[in-house]
Structure 1
Amino acid sequence: MSSIPKNPKLTALDLFSGCGGLSVGLKQAGFRVAAAVEINPKAQETYALNHPNVKLYSEDIRTLNASAILAELGLEVGDLDLLAGCPPCQGFSRLRTKNKGSSVFDPRNDLVSDFLRFAEEMLPKCIMMENVPALADDSRFLTLCKGIETLGYSYVVQILDAADYGVPQRRKRLILLASRVHQPVVGEKHTKRVTVRNAIAHIPARSSTTDALHAMPERRTEKVMALIKHIPKDGGSRADLPEEFQLACHKRTNGFNDVYGRMAWDDVAPTITSGCFNPSKGRFLHPSDDRTITLREAAALQGFPLNYRFNTLHGKESIALMIGNALPPPFIAAHASKLHEGISTQNDKDI
């Protein structure tokens, strides 16, 4: 019979895990991710490829019994150290809200209530939720905050830029940290930002790579390729194009100025989205090569390790969606580390 370690790793449960960005960050912060919940089959497969030792629940979270999960993990109510997750945020997205305020109707928005249900039934020591900034003003989020406060949690809510926490991209996110064993605080900002150069300049050329994700082919029309070649290197935009390459649709609008733009080597990238392989969706052109960034480069700009595995048979659209929806691991690690520190300090006092 094996003995229990003197300082066993703190346990975490990852709700709405997607392809695993949150779990990567939690592990980097020192947590043992005991289980995860994800409904999308391709995301499940990707998660399992990279986190084979985590128990993965593939059911709809609305049908899952939180108490039963605790029992299957060998935990009592109150034993779980961290409940973490990002309820699907498409319904709260700025592009899908009215007047950038209240959220439009989307059934996925109600999954916030399932997050609260898990907190009520499990009573974890700490809670972490990450989401889009628009969630802050939604009534369901306010109900969540009141609910955890009633349960005895102290909490902090802030809207932060992931670029301040080691992620090589601008990405404004809401973070909720709650604890019933200490006063939670967000992580300290990094003194220096990680740039596009830091993140992807060392990745081998596509022509010589053995990485199937990095080598996925890019197919463009001759007209689009000619346009891309005329975008100035290292931060150029479509505004720099000669008149004959200006698209009629771009002349008619002053918005979406980043489309057909290049990233700059010594700056952070724009927010990586599911359209990151399409130059018409944002500033997704490589700083110096005449192409969009590859999906491997996109994953690196999200903060994933370079050996993170994706099944290329899933196709570009599906993989880009997983990467774009992922939680950047360094951002998660920075804040989860503070929760880990708080729980560990309190555990030491209780010994």
Structure 2
Amino acid sequence: MEPGFCTGTPCAATEAGGGVRAIDLFAGAGGFSTGARMAGVNVVWAANHWPVAVETHAANHPETAHACQDLHQADWSRVPAHDILLASPCCQGHSKAPGKAANNPQHDASRSTAWAVVSALEYHRPSFGVVENVREFMDWNLFPAWRLALQALGYQISPHVVDAADFGVPQHRERLFIVLSRSDRPLMLNLPRRQYVTAASVIDFSAGNWTPIEKPGRAAATLSRIANGRRAHGDRFPTAYYGNEAGGRSIDRPIGTITTRDRWAVVDGDRMRMLRADECRAAMGFPAEYQLPKQHRTAVHLLGNAVCPPVARDIITAIQGAA
């Protein structure tokens, strides 16, 4: 799919939807859209600059009109009217990863994607918006200016920092959700706290490509993490390949954050393997039937960038209840 290519007719999508309508900016794999659908909301338009992401979203949301383009250049007059704007601007320039500092052109450009939210809201003025990002988004040097621009458009701003595990997702994943509302005061949501779902519920110990733990070339740091994990959790547990974890995690608690490249290995006795894409999908809270690219690396990249659908579902449901 070429950049700028649009599938579906916006007006037709709007007329067919009915009920509460949303658009999804920087839609990626479709976690926000899937959560909106769970909440009974019709996603009438979705956009992303990466053709693979648009194709994946379209395969799972065929009723939605799609655009593959740089949203800095969007013509918002061609986007259907909607009640809720959903957006996940690029987070790489705000995260703790190297390159966050200013004067890194790639990360400066990624931070600028948040301004597409302002231009979309300025044109359409929907009643609500939800912007998802890492919590460091609020430390952005231009965040005060971004907030003032939204307030100038008549939006109240209510930040909510949540952990996906509290929404029944089998993963600890802390993210910022900024709720925007055209209301007299900021909309503080009363969000449910659901029972934790364990890593054991998403790991299939009977499947996958296992390799011996003790094999030539295995990194000493990996062996050290596994030894620490065994002492703490026994013979079965997930362990991180990178990050600040020195051991493993109990399979009786949610797994750690799913990232855009393989991070979690599963240890089972004297063998180990990386998490499969379908296990990452389950750990993100996507339905089992959700279609992903066949290439493992691409699927994991999409999932690691996604919004967890159950989190989006509960936030959007709470907004509708408070409206």
1:306 matched residue in structure 2: 288
Per-residue deviation, 1:151: 1.6
2:309 matched residue in structure 1: 329
One-letter amino acid of the structure 2 residue matched with residue 89 of structure 1: C
2:180 matched residue in structure 1: 178
User: CA 1:317–1:224 in 2, change beyond 3 Å: closer, same or farther?
Assistant: farther
User: CA 1:328–1:196 in 2, change beyond 3 Å: closer, same or farther?
Assistant: same
Instruction: Please list every run of 5 or more consecutive structure 1 residues that lacks an aligned counterpart in the other structure.
Output: 207-214, 243-254, 344-351
Count of aligned pairs between the two proteins: 294
User: CA 1:35–1:296 in 2, change beyond 3 Å: closer, same or farther?
Assistant: same
User: CA 1:224–1:333 in 2, change beyond 3 Å: closer, same or farther?
Assistant: farther
Per-residue deviation, 1:104: 5.3
User: CA 1:21–1:286 in 2, change beyond 3 Å: closer, same or farther?
Assistant: farther
Whichever of the two has the greater Rg, that structure is 1
2:300 matched residue in structure 1: 320
Query: 1:196 and 2:181 equivalent?
Result: no
> In structure 2, how many angstroms separate the alpha carbons of the residues matched to 1:82 and 1:311?
28
> In structure 1, how many angstroms separate the alpha carbons of the residues matched to 2:268 and 2:308?
21
One-letter amino acid of the structure 1 residue matched with residue 45 of structure 2: A
Per-residue deviation, 1:68: 2.4
User: CA 1:174–1:219 in 2, change beyond 3 Å: closer, same or farther?
Assistant: same
Q: Displaced runs of 4+ in structure 1, greater than 4 A? A: 101-105, 217-222, 224-228, 286-289
Query: 1:284 and 2:271 equivalent?
Result: no
> In structure 1, how many angstroms separate the alpha carbons of the residues matched to 2:216 and 2:67?
43
- 8 Å CA contact 2:94–2:136 kept in 1: the answer is yes
Per-residue deviation, 1:186: 2.9
- 8 Å CA contact 2:59–2:291 kept in 1: the answer is yes
Per-residue deviation, 1:120: 0.9
Per-residue deviation, 1:52: 0.8
Per-residue deviation, 1:340: 1.9
Query: 1:270 and 2:256 equivalent?
Result: yes
Q: Which has the higher strand share?
A: 2
Per-residue deviation, 1:308: 0.6
After TM superposition, list the pairs within 5 Å mapping 1:1-351 onto structure 2: 8-69=18-79, 73=80, 75=81, 80-96=82-98, 105=105, 106=107, 107-181=109-183, 183-198=186-201, 200=202, 205-206=206-207, 223=215, 237-239=226-228, 256-258=243-245, 262-276=248-262, 281=263, 283-285=264-266, 290-312=272-294, 315-343=295-323
Per-residue deviation, 1:59: 1.6
> In structure 2, how many angstroms separate the alpha carbons of the residues matched to 1:89 and 1:224?
38
User: CA 1:46–1:205 in 2, change beyond 3 Å: closer, same or farther?
Assistant: farther
> In structure 2, how many angstroms separate the alpha carbons of the residues matched to 1:274 and 1:239?
25
TM-score, normalised via structure 1 length = 0.74
One-letter amino acid of the structure 1 residue matched with residue 258 of structure 2: I
Instruction: Please list every run of 5 or more consecutive structure 2 residues that lacks an aligned counterpart in the other structure.
Output: 1-13, 232-241
Per-residue deviation, 1:221: 9.2
TM-score, normalised via structure 2 length = 0.80
Q: Which has the higher helix share?
A: 1
> In structure 2, how many angstroms separate the alpha carbons of the residues matched to 1:256 and 1:129?
26
User: CA 1:310–1:339 in 2, change beyond 3 Å: closer, same or farther?
Assistant: same
Per-residue deviation, 1:153: 1.6
> In structure 2, how many angstroms separate the alpha carbons of the residues matched to 1:286 and 1:325?
25
1:249 matched residue in structure 2: none
User: CA 1:28–1:241 in 2, change beyond 3 Å: closer, same or farther?
Assistant: closer
> In structure 2, how many angstroms separate the alpha carbons of the residues matched to 1:221 and 1:154?
53
User: CA 1:57–1:158 in 2, change beyond 3 Å: closer, same or farther?
Assistant: same
> In structure 2, how many angstroms separate the alpha carbons of the residues matched to 1:224 and 1:53?
51
> In structure 2, how many angstroms separate the alpha carbons of the residues matched to 1:165 and 1:299?
16
User: CA 1:224–1:266 in 2, change beyond 3 Å: closer, same or farther?
Assistant: farther
> In structure 1, how many angstroms separate the alpha carbons of the residues matched to 2:164 and 2:266?
21
